[in-house]
Amino acid sequence: MKMLITLLVLAVVAVWWIGRENRELTRSLSDATETIGKQKKALQASQNALTELKTRAHSNERAQVLLREQRDTAEALANRRNQTITRLLNENEALRRWYLSPLPDDVIRLHRRPGFATPDDYLRWLSEGQQLPDTGKPTDHQRGVK
């Protein structure tokens, strides 16, 4: 009988111990499942961000190509313009003298402007409108000078 009680006590202890281990394993499995779920969400968010970055990079590359083409076109136009100016200056003595002559003081003053801290400062300065004095003399193109 003592042996039966001992076996019964051992069986109860074994069942209790197995139950406790089962609860701990269930809790560990639950924690692992939760962690996997969080990691899946984080991975999906990372993949979405990567996809967005790839799309932006591709878009930026296309924009850079377009800007380079526009720059090249502008450079070609500027070079052609400079060549035309040089050719005309070489062909026409009056034009060459006009081109090399200094600008009038009023025109130089118009080209000067103060430094601006903000775009609003520039707009304010622009709207103040600095008038040129009227000299009463006709301009060179009105006098027929060539």
What pLDDT score was predicted for residue 62?
Answer: 97
What is d(CA 63, CA 145) in angstroms, rounded to the nearest whole number? 48
Average pLDDT per run of 10 along the chain, which is 146 residues long?
Answer: 87 90 93 95 96 97 96 96 92 89 84 81 78 62 51
What pLDDT score was predicted for residue 110?
Answer: 74
Residue-wise pLDDT for 45-77, tens only, equals 999 999 999 999 999 999 999 999 999 999 999
Helix, strand, coil percentages, rounded to 5, for the chain: 80, 0, 20
Residue partners of 125: CB distance under 8 A and separation at least 6: 113, 114, 116
Q: Which of 100, 96, 74, 73 is nearest to 146 (CA)?
A: 96
What is d(CA 47, CA 49) in angstroms, rounded to the nearest whole number? 5
